[in-house]
Structures are given as structure tokens and as C-alpha cells.
Structure 1
Amino acid sequence: MSRTAPAGGRETGSPSWRPTPLVRASFWLHGGAGCGLWLAPQLWPWWLGSVAANHAVLAAAGMAPRSALLGPNLARLPPGSRQVALSFDDGPDPEVTPRVLDLLDEAGARASFFLIGQRAARHPALVREILRRGHSAENHTHTHPLHFAALGPGGMRREVREAQAAIGAAGGAPRFFRPPAGMRSPFLDPILFTAGLRLANWSRRGADGVSGNAARVLRRLRDPQPGEILLLHDGNSRRGADRRPVVLAVLPELLARLRAAGLSAASLPQAVAASDVAPPASAAAAESLPSAADASP
């Protein structure tokens, strides 16, 4: 399957979207099972079983945050990078995000903030402050539905489009998208292609959204390596025994470890070569994304 993106997302004449080998094989398998059911209906358990097995494989691929089986997925920086990309999810948070920004400033570090659209709409000045300090504001859906991977193409498209518009209204122009928990379905890749967004997950996460133990979070991020994309949270960071969001205890030590390893912390647009980054989709482009009735992959 190949589809040219409409004007307003990627420009007319740009390469058309192409499914991965797994998705392409799934299309053929579904078609073959349909023909088999028509030609030999008595073998329906086999046809049904083959489709069910294929759906299980697709679901497993979608639940693996670093998998590229469903489409391009930036889980590490390009080879040769001497940087680490820091990323923070679920903000902006009026209590935590300014303190995270201060800690990054003190270390001369830059990061990418994957923002929830609704929160960006409530705190546009905080989004502008993220950008003013040299960081990037990226797309993390509009409402952060934990069942995002189970949404159909219309629901996914709406979450992407509305977050892009909300962050754009605050001055941002996201180039990267991260789904909640990193999970997605085969519907997501053509939607991101149309929006001019690139899927970016992580190589390691601190799990500070579930653990308030700073030592445990730091153990998960120990020995940072060049090219890694590290995930923490400025929104929904679990609080430690001192009632402080654990990210505020973890970040200074993590930044010190990066310095000791001779690594610099960068945002994704900084860390990825300019020629390797998809062009930004503006709020206007996001509004032009096709509706749920259009072109399900």
C-alpha cells in the first residue's frame, strides 16, 4: 500500500507512505484468508486462526516501545553521536516543570518535553518558557489515553491533531510524537507520516512515574551510553518519602553522571542530524489531517 500525503501535512510530491514488511504481509494475509473462506468455507478454523495469529504478532510489536516492526521508531540516536537525548513526559506541570528547567539550566543541558495537549492549553506560558530556554516541545497526545493503542484511526488522528494544535498555539512546532507507554497499533504510522511527525520512544526509562525511590530510578539509568534516549517525567512523577517529585532528586545526579562520562544532554532536534528529522507540522497542518472516514491503512 502506498499513499501520498495531502497538502498541509507533508508537501505534495514528497515520498508516499509505505507500510513495513510486517504490515504489508498482514494486508496480504487478511486478503488471502478472505479468499480462502470464500473458496473453502469448511476450512474456516484455519483461516480464522491465521488471522488471529497475525493480530497477536501485531499486538506484540505494538507493545514493544523500541520495535520498528510497525513503522520507523527512533529509540536511539544515529550512530556516532556523543550526546544523550533527555526527554520528559506528561507535562507541562506548573509545580515541577519550572524546577526541572532550572536544574537543566544549571547543568547547561537541553531536553525534549513530550507535552500533553490539554495541559499545554492550560499552561501556554510554561510551554513558551520551555522553548525560550532552548528545549523542544513535542507531542504526547491531547488527553494521554492509556488505551491509545486500542483506538481506531479516527481516535488516534484526533489525539495527534488536537495536541499538535494546542502546542502550536503556545508557540511550539512538534516534530516528534510519543504515544502513552510507547504502545501503538499499525494505524499510527500513516497518521504520523501525514502529520509530518516522527515516532520517538526511548532506549531506557527511569520508571519515575511508578517508583518514588530515587536510588531505584537511578539504577535503571546507570552508566549512560552515547546515543541513548532517556525518559523521565516532569508530569506525574511519583513522589518520594520526602513528598518531593522523585525526578527532582534524580535529575542532578543523572546530569552529573553524564558530565563524568563526557556526554552532553541535548533535545531530540539538536541530537538528531537536521537531514534526519522530519519537517515540523504546524497547527494549521494538523487541522488539515483527514477525518476518521479517510484512508484507514
Structure 2
Amino acid sequence: MNARHPAPGQPRRWRPTPLVGGAAAVHAGALAALAVAPATWPWAAGGVIASHLALTAAGLWPRSTLLGHNWTTLPEQPGARIAITIDDGPDPDVTPRVLDLLDAHRARATFFCIGERARRHPRIVEAIVARGHAVENHSQRHRHHFSLQGPGALRREIDAAQTTLGEIAGTPPLFFRAPAGLRNPFLEPVLCGFGLQLASWTRRGFDTRTGDAALVARRLLDGVAPRDILLLHDGHAARDANGAPVVLAALDTVLRVAAERGLHTVTLREAIV
């Protein structure tokens, strides 16, 4: 469930969550205990280790709100609306075909783009915007160790993507999605400084791993409901037995069934209230 918080686009004050605040209190208490009674070090160390394990577990759960605000569903608004989000592009082979498919269904999507890929394929990013979709921040380089970085490195990575995508798309991103959805407690304060809102998803198709488009579509459609955020990929897309990116057939099915069920697609920006 999305907590009420300022709309994306403006820097906001960071407020630690109970888990983050509690972990900080545990660290402070451990230091105080060691200063007064050094013999308590096993208890102090145990408390610190336990707090680190809790923070790590929260960061490994992409849909968690324990480390900060996180859009896991769309905000409550009238109408049966869902969001299609597409990660890891732009891809010169897949993304143009995804755009054609969206046009055919008169659907809109949110593309979480990687800055370096956008720099290599700026015309595709421009086409995304020109055809009515939104471009958001998925980091500059999409490194697998993103969630292991400190605040300075996170800030540089996100800032580079903000600059890259803002220059090409014509407007800076309002949303951020971490690579693989993994993060640490330093991310939320950085996002607050940029006025970015973390966005994860309600359901995903695992279309970077599964070569069966029908299975990917079933995962996305099983129980799909208004306010859901669906995750697909134009970058790193898995291929079926014929070499076709599974995202294409899966997305075609999802959009067709969504329309049959009266679900309308919106970008995350259109869902801001």
C-alpha cells in the first residue's frame, strides 16, 4: 500500500522509517553500552548484527516499504487503471517493436531506461516520448552491485542518469527503479534529494528468464486488478524457441486481456495525485 507523501518532482525532507531509525538507535545503544560496560560487547555486537540483517532483508525485498516510500501499486483514483512498466532499455531491436505494439493497442507505458543505453540510442528515447509514453530513471549503468554502494556513489549514479535522460527526453525523470529492485538504507535519502519516487511493481512476468511468452503473460494476468503495476523488459529480454523476444507476445496478450476486462493503461506520471 502506498503511504501518503509529497508528489514526485520536488526535493523533500528525508524521514527515517521505524526500521531505519530503530537500527540507528541499536548502533547508538551498542556504542554507549561498550563505553560503560565493555564486557557487554557480545550483546552489543549481536544487536548490531541483527539490525544489519533486518536492513539487508528489507533491501532484498523489492516491494518493501521498510526502507522508505515505494510505489507498489498506483494511488487510489477513480477508474480501473493499471500501469505497464518496461525496464532495461532502450534496445535497438526490441524497443521499437514494443512501441508499435503499444500503438496498436492504444496503450501507454512507463519505460525505466538505463542512462548509458539511452546515450547510445537517443532517437529511441525520443520516440518513446513522442509516442505518448514516459521515460524514468533506472540508473546510469545498471550495475549488479548497485545496492552495495554508499550514498556518494548512489548519488553520482542516479544524478548521471537524471542528466542523461533529462537531456534526451526533454524532461527529467520523476520516478526511480533500482536495478533488480535491490537497494540499501542510503537510497531513500538520495532519492529525496532529487525529488524522485521509488517505484517497484505489483506483479512481474520474469520475462528475462522465461522463454515461454504464454507463461509470462499468465504470471502478469493471474489476479490482475485495478491499480496494479506490471513489470516487463525490453532490455535483456528472454527469447522463445524461434528467437523472438518473449516480451512481444506476452505484452500483446496482456494488453488484449486487460482491455477485455476494462482495465486502462496509464503511465506512472499520469497516476500522480
TM-score bracket, normalised by the shorter chain, equals over 0.9
Please, which of 125, 128, 135 is the counterpart of residue 126 of structure 2?
128
Task: Please tell me whether residue 194 in structure 1 is matched to residue 193 in structure 2.
Answer: yes
Alignment size in residue pairs: 262
CA distance in 1, matches of 2:137, 2:163: 10
Task: Please tell me whether residue 46 in structure 1 is matched to residue 59 in structure 2.
Answer: no
In structure 2, runs of 5+ residues without a counterpart are: 1-8
1:238 corresponds to which residue?
238
Secondary structure at the counterpart of residue 221 of structure 1 = helix
Please, which of 98, 103, 116 is the counterpart of residue 101 of structure 2?
103
Superimposed CA distance per residue, residues 243-281 of structure 1 (whole angstroms, 9 cap, x where no aligned partner): 0111011111110110011001111111232xxxxxxxx
For residues 192-271 of structure 1, what are the structure 2 equivalents within 5 Å?
192-223=191-222, 224-271=224-271
Superimposed CA distance per residue, residues 22-45 of structure 1 (whole angstroms, 9 cap, x where no aligned partner): 111111111110111111111111
Superimposed CA distance per residue, residues 218-264 of structure 1 (whole angstroms, 9 cap, x where no aligned partner): 12112421000000001111011010111011111110110011001
Secondary structure at the counterpart of residue 88 of structure 1 = strand
Query: How much does 1:10 deviate?
Result: 4.0
| 1:148 partner amino acid | F
1:185 corresponds to which residue?
184
CA distance in 1, matches of 2:206, 2:242: 18
CA distance in 2, matches of 1:188, 1:66: 14
The alignment yields a C-alpha RMSD, in angstroms, of: 1.2
Q: TM-score, normalised by structure 2?
A: 0.93
Report runs of 4+ in structure 1 exceeding 6 Å deviation.
none
| 2:162 partner amino acid | Q
Task: Please tell me whether residue 113 in structure 1 is matched to residue 111 in structure 2.
Answer: yes
Q: 211-220 or 227-236: which moved more?
A: 211-220
In structure 1, runs of 5+ residues without a counterpart are: 1-8, 274-297
Superimposed CA distance per residue, residues 50-101 of structure 1 (whole angstroms, 9 cap, x where no aligned partner): 0000000001111111110100000101124510000000000111101000
2:156 corresponds to which residue?
158
2:63 corresponds to which residue?
66
CA distance in 1, matches of 2:65, 2:209: 26
| 2:73 partner amino acid | R
Q: TM-score, normalised by structure 1?
A: 0.86
Secondary structure at the counterpart of residue 221 of structure 2 = coil
